[in-house]
């Protein structure tokens, strides 16, 4: 996925370099390259972020349950 993003940014950088002015080149690179690419990477990474959050919640839940069991054994 990252190789496609790198390739897209390279192409848009070359297109921006052929613009008649520096301002037009920067704007074309931002709107044709950087913003769509960052949006695509953010959307494609949402599944990974969701899985990471679930994993951290399950680890915290397991840690809280382990702590409850240890206190009960010492009280008995």
Residue pair 28/16 in contact by the 8 Å Cβ criterion: yes
Question: What range does the domain containing 52 cover?
Answer: 48-76
Q: Give the 3-state secondary structure percentages of the chain, helix then strand then coil, rounded to 5.
A: 90, 0, 10
- Sequence-separated (6 or more) residues with CB below 8 Å from residue 16: 25, 26, 28, 29, 32, 33
Distance CA 19, CA 30 (A): 13
- In the chain, the number of structural domains is 2
Same structural domain for residues 2 and 39?
yes
Distance CA 3, CA 58 (A): 33
What pLDDT score was predicted for residue 38? Answer: 92
Same structural domain for residues 66 and 34?
no
**pLDDT tens sequence for the chain (76 residues):** 789 999 999 999 999 999 999 999 999 999 999 999 999 988 888 888 888 888 888 888 888 877 655 555 555 5
Same structural domain for residues 10 and 37?
yes
Same structural domain for residues 31 and 61?
no
Same structural domain for residues 33 and 12?
yes
């Amino acid at each position: 996925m990252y190789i496609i993003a790198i390739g897209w940014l390279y192409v848009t950088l070359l297109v921006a370099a052929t613009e008649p002015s520096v301002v037009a080149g920067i704007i074309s690179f931002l709107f044709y390259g950087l913003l769509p690419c960052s949006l695509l990477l953010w959307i494609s990474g949402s599944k990974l972020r969701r899985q990471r959050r679930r994993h951290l919640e399950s680890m915290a839940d397991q840690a809280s349950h382990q702590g409850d069991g240890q206190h009960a054994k010492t009280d008995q």
